[in-house]
Structure 1
Amino acid sequence: MKIATFNINGIGSRLPALLQWLEETQPDVACLQELKAPTEKFPEQALRDIGYHAIWQGQKSWNGVAILARGVQPQEVQRGLPGDTSDEQSRYLEAAVNGVLIACLYLPNGNPAPGPKFDYKLAWMERFIERAAGLYASGAPVVLAGDYNVIPTPDDVYKPERWLTDALFRPETRAAFERLMAQGWLDALRHMHPDETIYTFFDYFREAYKRNAGLRIDHLLLSPAVARGLVAAQVDHDVRGREKPSDHAPTWIELDMTKVHG
């Protein structure tokens, strides 16, 4: 089973690129972030025409998340991150697909920091940590996939000294992420590539992609039941270099389901 996460950065303008990537790589599940489209503008039929069923939560101009599944309908479990009924931002979905619970998240950026946006980011992370703890404790096969807007370590960013005051790399952000990881989740990409320079995001400015001057902020975190089936994790780096690309590259894992459900 192949599970991918991809911040599409505007599904309206990048639909052809998304369809091309899906048809080429055929992930069983694709978690999308930053749809930047209201719910009614989601291209459900175009995705269905190439074999993908979906659940999604849109939002005009900003945010928006979706879970796509090839050949099956994702069974929605949770819409929106619990813990704050006043939060109207579309950043979180959970669905069951083929016996795996998949959370798709678009964690707030938080810049400028300090400030209200950074406060919202940290509060959101607290709610997510609490939700993740419950999912982990269930013992179920769980994948937490998405754009975390968190650079976990200096090895996950080109020239880390330039990012010390950025909300993605501030000590408070990294400490919250470390508390999440301390629950027992496996960082799939780093586990499979412990010493490699590997990035998932490249800014549009200063030819960042050509210089491989990126960040690793798109993560797939696995519960123990899923981790035992992990056989591959990679970034579709070349997709970032195509015409009119997202500033993120798709990131994915491959699972041996006989070990997940065995």
Structure 2
Amino acid sequence: MTDSVRIAAWNVNSLKVRLPQVLSWLQDQEKKHQPIDALCLQELKLTDDKYPHKELEDAGYLSMAAGQKTYNGVAIIVRKAALAPIASDTATSFLKPIRNIPNFEDEQQRILAATIPFAGTQPIRLVSAYFPNGQSPDSDKFIYKLSWLKALQTWLGEELQQNSRLALLGDFNIAPADVDVHDPSKWIGQNLVSPKERQAFQQLVELGLTDSFRMFEQPPKIFSWWDYRMMGFRRNAGLRIDHILLSEALKDKCTASIVDKEPRTWEQPSDHAPVVATIKKV
């Protein structure tokens, strides 16, 4: 048993296409003796009946998903070996599951939450989130994004009152500061970086959440998303829009937070890279 729990988020941009990469990445982490104990996925782009439960379970992982045809979809995948002995199957592993934001009418599958009873430590409440893109600040999709963000903030405030050990992981579609943008001057007036979106990100922080990546000294120009077009990855023309936000109780136990760019170098990759945080057990 390790002395830490490693949690991660990855927008895979179609799990049907990238299941082999997900399994390969998880196996690679195991070989490095740095296993991923819980992985939150975004943009599954498949329905629940197409979700690869068996393939993941055969590889040593239990999971739950909120799928949607063609678009969106989120999942939580947990390493069986990381679970407390009592949590031996799916029915007992994912406690108090919530699909979508309560009291916010929405057909889009963007939120999945569950409390995970990891071995050797107190349970952790994981929220896998795929924030709306917003398209552009003058669009109806942007109005939807802001209303979704407001509903998320209200609900997370309630969640934090009930769960002191909470992590919000996923594709936020928000670069919170200019340092998270490869060329801020080229992004002025666009979504993902607008003042209203950044204000919404800050409001999540003010709930008592901390951007785990910024807890540590990081190299310059570290991003988590690069456009497929115009050789975005090769030029490192990216944005840091994938985040792991931690409650105060988890922040105090966080020992590392990184972006793993390696999967973005693979053939036919997602346009996002996984982000990983390490939480010391208590």
Q: TM-score range by the shorter chain?
A: over 0.9
How many Å separate the matches in 2 of 1:57 and 1:176? 24
Unaligned residue ranges in structure 2 (runs of 5+): 30-34, 84-92
**Aligned match of 1:223:** 247
CA distance in 2 between partners of 1:139 and 1:240 (Å):
34
Is 1:144 the counterpart of 2:164? The answer is no
Count of residues paired in the alignment: 257
1: CA distance, partners of 2:147 / 2:194? 15
Residue number in structure 2 paired with 1:23: 27
CA deviation vs aligned residue, 1:195-253 (integer Å, no higher than 9, x gap): 63211111111111111111000010000111111011111111101111000000000
The structure-2 alpha-carbon separation of the partners of 1:245 and 1:195, relative to structure 1 and needing over 3 Å to count, comes to: closer
Aligned to 2:99: 79
Residue of structure 2 in register with 1:95 after alignment: 114
Deviates more, 1:133-142 or 1:56-65: 133-142
**Residue 32 of structure 2 aligns with which residue?**
none
* Paired position in structure 2 for 1:175: 199
Q: In the alignment, residue 58 of structure 2 is paired with which amino acid?
A: D
Give the superposed CA RMSD.
1.3
Out of 128, 131, 141, the residue aligned to residue 117 of structure 1 is 141
Shift of 1:142: 0.3
Amino acid at match of 2:187: W
Q: Distance in 1 between matches of 2:103 and 2:131?
A: 15
Q: Which runs of 5+ in 1 are unaligned?
A: none
Paired residues of 2:126 and 2:169 also in contact (CA < 8 A)? yes
Q: Which moved more, 1:122-131 or 1:156-165?
A: 156-165
Change (3 A) 1:76 1:41: farther
Could you tell me how far apart the structure 2 residues matched to 1:48 and 1:77 are? 19
Indicate how the Cα distance of structure 1 residues 243 and 80 shifts in structure 2: closer, same or farther if over 3 A, else same.
same
Q: Is the 8 A contact 1:53 1:74 kept in 2?
A: no
Using the size of structure 1 for normalisation, the TM-score is 0.95
Give the structure 2 partner of residue 3 of structure 1.
7
Question: Could you tell me how far 1:169 is from its partner in structure 2?
Answer: 0.8
Identity %: 37
Comparing 244-253 with 182-191, which one deviates more in the overlay? 182-191
Does structure 2 conserve the Cα–Cα contact (< 8 Å) formed by 1:67 and 1:74? no
Mapping 1:173-252, distance limit 5 Å: 173-193=197-217, 196-252=220-276
Q: Does the 8 Å contact 1:92/1:103 carry over to 2?
A: yes
1:131 aligns with 155
SS in 1 for 2:149: helix
Query: How far did residue 106 of structure 1 move?
Result: 0.2
CA distance in 1, matches of 2:258, 2:204: 22
